[in-house]
Amino acid sequence: MVRDVAFGQYFPGKSFIHRLDPRAKILLLIAYLVIIFCTFNYFSLLLIASFTVLMILSSGVSPKFYFKSLKVIVFIVIFTSLLNLFYGTGEPIWQWWIFRLTINGINRAIFVTVRIICLILASSCLTFTTSPTELTDAIERLMKPLNRIHFPVHEIAMMMSLALRFVPTLLEETDKIMAAQKARGADMDSGSLIKRVKALVPVLIPLFVSAFRRAYEIATAMECRCYRGGSGRTKMKSIHMSGRDAAAFTALGLVICGVILCNIFLSAAI
Amino acid sequence: MSSVLELKNLSFVYGQNTPFEKKAVDNISLSINQGEFIGIIGHTGSGKSTLVQMLNGLIQPTEGQVLLDGEDIWAKPKEIRRVRFKVGMVFQYPEYQLFEETVYKDIAFGPSNMGKTGVELDQAVKKAAEFTGLKPELLLKSPFDLSGGEKRRAAIAGVIAMDPQVLVLDEPTAGLDPMGREVLLSQILQYHKERKNTVILVSHSMEDIAKVADRIIVMNKSRLVMFDKTKEVFSHGRELEKIGLRVPQITKIMLELKEKGYNIPDGILTVDEAFAAVSSLLKREGKIW
């Protein structure tokens, strides 16, 4: 069923990471993603990996769900690490046909695997611990300076939160429509590619119609509550940076310093 | 009478082997005869919808079998589509499945999936439209230009056009005005009488069910509680109330009169029957002549 697709799941909680300012979380994530790709030897890689584990443990979300999020990328990880494994430079330690195995290749494969895994885990940590509302709120606040160049920040943020809110609804709707068309003998699981694409028409048209209907309904509902865009609008829950966020920034700052120091004083593995 | 559908120890579990595991249908066995009109009642979340979706193979049971004309419908999973042509299914709010340019083409979707063409297809569409009371001039309109009630009829016609042996309707009258409900229900009954096929109606309206059903399936918390003649089921008013259902209003009044000691027969379902019972009672007591 379509419903099984996990998308931007959020697990409510009160952990240290849950209570961080969502803006801080986004900024920290960006810095973290950059620093993942600045690890060039095993010490810095270990530092980053242990920081990731610490992050997962302090998020209060069961590690089971993190593993689940990794399942999706298993194929990409295997593919890229295999590619890297055989594209290393230097003396081959084993060779067969076009496959050349080098120390450099093995190192590269390990690095790319750990980096991708850390990347997914950290991004999952953000979506697991931050509700979609908080996320869009934070993005709106972070993009506020763009208002000066007449970029419609609030409108974009509102569109984002509406879109996120309708993902589960539309998935459920797709399920229902598919069942109804299957009951009328629609065949969606067999036949050539063109046939299968054609078989989607009876699902997509009702889905679009209902999406438009819902859009009209929600627009009317918003107007009934006097919504008229962003200017002069205040927040019910305003977000504030606190000591907690300062602590988080410091922690990541230390990791970044560690990685840089490792890079300067230790030899690179790749 | 031969049985057309037979359920054997049918169970369905949502999200098996996950923390969200939930039993929706629990060990149901029953047999439905050819030409019967069956009503299914039950509280919201009692497993009615899951049960009916297993009848035409939209959901594969986790345990047990569904026998259609004595054959297990999942014996050949690749041919499950043929089962869907034999067991037609009208979902709740079926008007949201309309997609074609014209009502005619939409009604023709099912029968043409069955392989019908030409005159045969044309006849199937026109007959289905007639059964559901769609005027011929509406057939060339876009389904999105119809009124709510007309859309509902067009969607139901789309299933009837496949001429299924068993027709399953999940709350076909939900959201219609009282007049529309009445008319649609009598059209379904008319269809049942003419084609002599089996109809299974899921409904929350006890009055509707009482009017049309021969036998009633009562579901509660994923289990089968009762499966008996309509009169029998509705004479168990107190038990039904315990599981959050009720009996038709007129049946309830008669039941209460009987509890007060008046001599009134069990299982009165319509106002006409009630009138007959009360007037004969009054005659016997000499109150009217």
- Specify the amino acid at residue B179: M
Beta-bridge partner residues of B198 = B166
Separation CA B210–CA B188 (nearest Å)? 14
Over residues A222-232, the pLDDT tens digits come to 999 988 877 77
Domain harbouring B8, CATH code:
3.40.50.300
How confident is the model at residue A5, as a pLDDT? Answer: 44
Mean pLDDT calculated for residue range B210-216: 91
Q: How far apart are CA A230 and CA A141, in angstroms?
A: 12
Where residue B17 falls (left for φ over 0; alpha for ψ -120 to 50; beta otherwise) is left
> What is the tally of helices (H) and strands (E) in chain A?
10, 2
User: What pLDDT does residue A1 have?
Assistant: 42
Whether residue B107 sits in one domain with residue B127: yes
Length of chain B counted residue by residue: 289
Contact B99 A201 (CB under 8 A): yes
Chain B CB within 8 Å of residue A243 CB? no
Can you give the pLDDT at residue B18? 67
Is residue B41 a contact partner of residue B206, using CB atoms and an 8 Å limit?
Answer: yes
Check CB contact under 8 Å for B91 and A180. Answer: yes
Flag if A206 and B97 touch (Cβ within 8 Å). yes
**pLDDT at site B141:** 92
B236, B239, B255, B207: which is closest to B39 by C-alpha? B207
Closest CA to B28 of B284, B276, B222, B285: B222
Q: Are residues B241 and B270 in the same domain?
A: no
Whether B147 and B260 map to the same domain: the answer is no
**Are B14 and B110 found together in one domain?**
yes
- Contact call for B96 and A205, based on CB within 8 A: no
For A204-218, B190-204, B269-283, which range has the lowest pLDDT when averaged over its residues? Answer: B269-283
The helix (run of H) or strand (run of E) holding residue B245 is none
pLDDT attached to residue B220 = 92
Let me know whether B223 and B122 are in one domain.
Answer: yes
Kindly state whether residues B239 and B254 are assigned to the same domain. no
Contact between B84 and A184 using a beta-carbon 8 Å cutoff: yes
Judge whether A106 and A269 are in contact, CB under 8 Å: no
**Domain that residue B232 falls in:** 3-247
Cα A97 to the center of its chain, rounded Å: 39
What's at B7, amino acid-wise?
L
Contact A183 B99 (CB under 8 A): no
CA distance B19 to chain A (A): 12
Measure CB to CB from residue B113 to each of A179, A185, A210 and give the nearest one.
A185
Domain match, B196 and B269 both: no
Q: Look at A202 and B99 and tell me if their CB atoms are within 8 Å.
A: yes
Query: Torsions phi, psi of A17, nearest 5?
Result: -70, -35
Average pLDDT over residues B190-210: 91
pLDDT in tens, B117-175: 899 999 999 999 999 989 999 999 999 999 888 999 999 999 999 999 999 999 999 88
Q: Pick out chain A residues at pLDDT < 70.
A: 1-8, 270
Question: Do B173 and B252 belong to one domain?
Answer: no
**B173 in the same domain as B286:** no
pLDDT reported for residue B288 = 64
Helix (H, G, I), strand (E, B) or coil at B146: coil
Report the number of distinct structural domains present in chain B.
Answer: 2
- DSSP for B40-106, written as a single string: EEE-TTSSHHHHHHHHTTSS--SEEEEEETTEETTSSGGGHHHHHHHEEEE-SSGGGG--SSSHHHH
Same domain, B160 and B242: yes
Same-domain check for residues B26 and B133: yes
If interface means Cβ-Cβ distance under 8 Å, which residues of chain B face chain A? 53, 56, 58, 81, 84-85, 88-89, 91, 94, 96-99, 109-110, 113-114, 144, 158-159, 162
**What mean pLDDT value characterizes chain B?**
89
Q: Tell whether A201 lies on the interface with B, counting CB pairs under 8 A.
A: yes
Q: What is the pLDDT of residues B55-91, one digit of tens each?
A: 989 999 999 999 999 889 998 888 888 899 999 999 9
Beta strands in chain A (DSSP E): 92-96, 99-102
Q: B85 to chain A: which residues are within 8 Å by CB?
A: 185
Largest Cα–Cα distance of chain B, in whole Å? 69
Share of chain B above pLDDT 70, in %: 98
Element (H, E) at B263: none
- With beta carbons less than 8 A apart as the criterion, state whether B220 and B42 touch: yes
Q: Looking at residues B202-221, what average pLDDT do you find?
A: 91
Instruction: Note whether B153 and B46 are same-domain residues.
Output: yes
Chain A hits for B94, Cβ within 8 Å: 180
Residue of A nearest to B89 (CA): A183
Q: Does B94 contact A180 at a Cβ distance shorter than 8 Å?
A: yes
